[in-house]
A and B are shown apart, each in its own frame.
Chain A
Amino acid sequence: DQQVKQNSPSLSVQEGRISILNCDYTNSMFDYFLWYKKYPAEGPTFLISISSIKDKNEDGRFTVFLNKSAKHLSLHIVPSQPGDSAVYFCAARVLTTRIGGSEKLVFGKGTKLTVNP
């Protein structure tokens, strides 16, 4: 069962336009949602996060929106730049306190964003 889903494997946008990446989840126990960016042959790097009690978080060109009733979040990049071309992973954190405080991130399969000059 895939608890975090990114249904679009790829997205192509023009430089300067908005990129919107989407993510759906099924587990109501997630307390934080995060977006990671990954370039080839590198590890994922943290981009932006949002608490489950918020509905929006903004950091420069990046904004994450959370719709808890729909179990949906999205990442907006405005304006998009060629250097934003990468694979973007949506991730959600779950705490398993019954195991003495364990935590883990559950990742989606990723969306490959291409920003064309």
Chain B
Amino acid sequence: GAGVSQSPRYKVAKRGQDVALRCDPISGHVSLFWYQQALGQGPEFLTYFQNEAQLDKSGLPSDRFFAERPEGSVSTLKIQRTQQEDSAVYLCASSLYGETGELFFGEGSRLTVL
């Protein structure tokens, strides 16, 4: 389809495991965002890419979180040594830079850490 695609949709990890979440943005979208949504909360900003450049990573909760977008399209969010508090839905969104702020979200990857 033409929308933002995320995989896996669901991931269960044991505490201490590393996980990788993938995002395929809409073709041609310059901007890519990662958000974390805990149960009952709104999405919280994690990081922002403009093409391959990671311009803002101020929302990453710890150095266990790492994101990349090496060729300016597909992005991966990696979480090392997962903890129970990392359990959340991780949302990826893309947009055309400079527009009205409208983001196109994927369906999210739900991470459960046991």
Q: Mark B34-47, 1 if CB is under 8 A from A, else 0.
A: 01000011111100
**Closest chain B CB from A111 CB (angstroms):** 10
Chain B residue numbers with a CB within 8 Å of A43 are 4, 91, 93, 105-108
- Which of B35, B93, B102, B105 gathers most chain A CB within 10 Å? B102
- Which of B40, B43, B100, B104 gathers most chain A CB within 10 Å? B43
Number of interface residues of A (CB under 8 A): 30
B31 within 8 A of A: yes
Complex CA–CA separation, A104 to B106 (angstroms): 16
How many contacts between A and B, using CB within 8 angstroms? 73
A102 & B50 in contact (Cβ 8 Å cutoff): yes
Complex CA–CA separation, A101 to B30 (angstroms): 12
**Closest chain B CB from A110 CB (angstroms):** 5
B56 within 8 A of A: yes
What size tier do the contact residues of chain B reach? Answer: 20 to 34
Cross-chain contact of A44 among B50, B59, B101, B105 (Cβ < 8 A):
B105
Q: Which residues, 69 to 92 on A, are CB-close (under 8 Å) to B?
A: 89, 91
B40 & A49 in contact (Cβ 8 Å cutoff): no
**Closest chain B CB from A17 CB (angstroms):** 26
Chain A residue numbers with a CB within 8 Å of B41 are 109-110
Assuming A49-B101, A100-B53, what are 13 further A-B pairs, CB within 8 angstroms? Answer: A4-B42, A34-B102, A41-B107, A44-B105, A93-B101, A99-B56, A100-B55, A102-B50, A102-B55, A103-B97, A104-B33, A104-B56, A105-B33
Taking Cβ atoms with an 8 Å cutoff, the residues of A that contact B are 4, 6, 31-32, 34, 36, 41-46, 49, 51, 89, 91, 93, 96, 99-110
Taking Cβ atoms with an 8 Å cutoff, the residues of B that contact A are 4, 31, 33, 35, 40-45, 48, 50, 53, 55-56, 59, 91, 93, 97, 100-108
